[in-house]
Amino acid sequence: MKYLFQLFFRSVMDVAPLLVVIFFFQFVVIGESFPNTPRMLAGIALVITGLFLFMRGLEMALFPLGESLAFSFAEKGDVKLLLAFAVAIGYSATVAEPALLAVAEKAELITHGRLTAFALRNTVAAGVAFGIALGTIRIILGHPIHYYFIGGYTLVMALTAYAPKDIVGLAYDMGGVTTSTVTVPLVTALGVGLASSISGRNPLIDGFGLVAFAAMTPMATVMVYGIAVL
């Protein structure tokens, strides 16, 4: 119970800076009270409770699951199976992401169907899947991470010069909407667990970075999609 209380208090402290900003601008800058104070307070309580439950769920399930799967794949020594899992996790978690769905539908509406929500979602999901697989290969091979990002963002910059102007901003935004609340912790646990299970790898140096791969590669795939259809 003591630990749960500490975790709940930590959730309160995580939300506190946002609440300070909201209350400051509402009462000091605007100078008005909230239109529905009880509803607002109830919403804040739900946010804090939801954050507490989410963090507890990560500790109980997603982090141990990701690490145990990484250890199991490393013990089997089956790189193909590990890459297949990385691709499946990246694709399935991304294609159903609500933020991606909302942005894709808005893009289809604005472009009058030239960019379809279905194709855009699958293009982004494929980019995330490829990025996580690429990051997994980097951990296995032990390559320095900055080489991958220098090459990856060089490609993104080159595509920016050739892609239609209508698609560039959307492609850059897709790098953010792909990092969902489920994908990030599971992918992080996978990377840390894999680095911990391979001899000679440092979990801190080699285990992190998969999320950055997942944010980088969709930019390129969306711009390629835009070049093809616009």
Cβ pair 138, 86 in contact under 8 A:
no
What pLDDT shows up at residue 72? 77
What pLDDT shows up at residue 127? 93
What pLDDT shows up at residue 113? 84
pLDDT in tens, 7-44: 777 878 878 888 888 888 877 877 777 777 788 888 88
As a whole number, mean pLDDT of residues 181-191 equals: 77
Cβ pair 216, 152 in contact under 8 A:
yes
What gap in Å lies between CA 128 and CA 87, rounded to an integer? 8
Binning the chain into helix, strand and coil, the percentages to the nearest 5 are: 85, 0, 15
Cβ pair 135, 215 in contact under 8 A:
no
The whole-angstrom distance between residue 172's C-alpha and the CA centroid of its chain comes to 14
What pLDDT shows up at residue 42? 87
pLDDT in tens, 32-91: 777 777 888 888 888 888 888 877 877 787 777 767 777 777 777 778 888 888 898 888
Q: Is the pTM of this model over 0.75?
A: yes
Buried b (16+ CB within 10 A) or exposed e, 77-108: eeeeebbebbbebbbebbbebeebeebbeebb
Cβ pair 220, 202 in contact under 8 A:
no
pLDDT in tens, 109-164: 888 888 899 999 999 999 999 999 999 999 988 899 999 999 999 999 999 999 98
What gap in Å lies between CA 123 and CA 3, rounded to an integer? 42
Residue type, 2: K
Q: Above 90 in pLDDT, residue 101?
A: no
Q: Who has greater pLDDT, 53 or 217?
A: 217
Cβ pair 189, 63 in contact under 8 A:
yes
Closest by CA to 221, choosing from 171, 153, 152, is 171
